[in-house]
Amino acid sequence: MMSIPQTGVHWVAGSCFAVAVIGWLVALKIPASPSSDPALKLNWNPASETWRNLKLATEYPSVFRSLLGISWMWFFGAVFLSQFPSFARDVLGGDEQVASLLLVVFSVGIATGSLACETFSHRQVEIGLVPIGAVGMSAFAFDLYLASQGIVHPAGALMSASEFIRQHDNWRVMIDLALLAFSAGLYSVPMYALIQLRAKPSHRARIIAANNILNALFMIVSSLMAGALLGAHFTIPQVFGVTALLNVIVVGYVFWLMPEYIVRLVMLMVTRIVYRLKVRGDENLPTDGAAILVCNHVSFVDAIILGVCSPRPMIFIMDHRIFKMPGMGWFFKAVKAIPIAPQKEDPAAYERAFERARQVLKDGELLCLFPEGAITKDGKMQPFKAGIMKILETNPVQVIPSALHNLWGSSFSRIDGAAMAKPLRRGLFNHVGLVVGEPIAPQDVTPEALQVRVQALLDEPSP
């Protein structure tokens, strides 16, 4: 539109006004939402309210770190968006149509990656996608730097969009840009969802306000950094390369602070590659509030499968010996699992595990335990122990029964006496199922009655 002689400016102004009006009309259709904190008094001082919102966000460590992760994505994206006009003209040899084409490719990539999150997440908040998106952002941003290095455009008139597309050497640039943006969509959407899921409803709007403040701050710093690099005689492709390397450092630091993202990626790979998981009754898994989930114990990956199915983090009570296994120990420490030892073997560790379990419930979190006390050695469910009653005495919360199907005989079960005796016994993509039953009131729970409920779920057809 800007390139239309004489009237281009007017077309752009009219289009912006039309989009604003359409946005306003659509906003009128948003359903009314009652205030989650009617007693809240508005503070009209923007400086003090901004500071208060940022302090409020820091009260939720996982939420605040996700805010930083999202703000970094805006920093990352702003570097590219701000340089597209100059990149199109000075590096690619294109006119304003080429600059617009790059914006279109970037926007469609972001939208496609964002929409793909629902497909990959199966309608849950799947933060395991965040590391995949982060790797893609760096990989394709750096390849964009490499692809831009060898481009030589003829002197003279700038290319139009159609001329630009006809040159196959430019396709790599567009593919890199599209996949970079697609990765940013995968990276950001789960973080946005995590913020809304874990922030208290009464604080959620203010947390989102704090997020917007941080986003704006990071974009300002992004512009200053890009300007400083260009002032130091960096080329635009080199600015892209520096941003790709910075992304590795910053996102790596975020994952070091929050290993939950990597843990969820491992869980995602297990349940999408090693197994094909189907769930029935997942509406019985609570999204908030203290509760205990109990399940039969069939293999070493039971906790991973249960963790993927849960709409929020789940804290497991597990045999202390598993924490000494290479790899597995790190994994279960990262998910904050609680080690427990037999009372006769280590009374102090036994009591310490129950104290931690009580604290988990006191904090309103979801606790998971395997009442059999050990992985089955014959494929049959073992008698439930009375440990759960010890917890319910001090923390009477609802108990949710569940049952895992089709894991006996897998590589991670003890069908041959030791797990992984025959790796990939059943190959890949084996179907496993989880059936979740309706919650049981704490006063109705006994080990025997609970075992009957779990066995009934186990006797149901696999999902």
Tell me the pLDDT tens digit for each residue of 338-363. Answer: 888 888 888 888 888 889 999 989 98
Asked if residue 157 has pLDDT above 60, the reply is: yes
Q: Stretch 230-240: mean pLDDT, rounded?
A: 94
436, 279 contact by CB (below 8 A): yes
Q: Domain limits of the chain?
A: 47-258, 266-459
Q: What is the mean pLDDT of the chain?
A: 86
Which pLDDT value is given to residue 293? 93
Which pLDDT value is given to residue 203? 81
Classified by CATH at the fold level, domain 266-459 comes out as Glycerol-3-phosphate (1)-acyltransferase (3.40.1130)
Q: Stretch 371-390: mean pLDDT, rounded?
A: 87
Whole-angstrom Cα distance, residue 15 to residue 26?
A: 16
Which pLDDT value is given to residue 239? 95
Q: What angle do CA 370, 279, 116 make, to 5 degrees?
A: 125
Class of domain 47-258: mainly alpha
Global pTM? 0.75
For residue 16 the two structure tokens come to 């912006």
Model confidence at 417, pLDDT cuts 50, 70, 90, reads: low
**How many distinct helices (H) and strands (E) make up the chain?**
15, 7
Element (DSSP H or E) covering residue 294: strand 291-295
Listed residue (399, 408, 405, 406) closest to 449, CA to CA: 399
Which pLDDT value is given to residue 403? 92
Which pLDDT value is given to residue 247? 94
HSE-up of residue 305 (Cα within 13 Å, Cβ side) = 29
Model confidence at 283, pLDDT cuts 50, 70, 90, reads: confident
Exposure string of 245-271, with b = 16+ CB inside 10 Å and e = fewer, is ebbbebbeebbeebebbbbbbbbbebb
Which pLDDT value is given to residue 320? 80
Model confidence at 50, pLDDT cuts 50, 70, 90, reads: confident
Which pLDDT value is given to residue 398? 93
Which has the higher per-residue pLDDT, 243 or 49?
A: 243
Model confidence at 154, pLDDT cuts 50, 70, 90, reads: low
Using DSSP bridges, classify how beta strands 399-405 and 430-436 pair: parallel, antiparallel or unpaired.
Answer: antiparallel
For residue 20 the two structure tokens come to 């604003």
Whole-angstrom Cα distance, residue 386 to residue 399?
A: 14
Q: What pairs with residue 432 in β-bridges?
A: 277
Q: What percent of the chain has pLDDT over 90?
A: 39
Exposure string of 400-422, with b = 16+ CB inside 10 Å and e = fewer, is bbbbbbbbbebbbbbbeeebeee
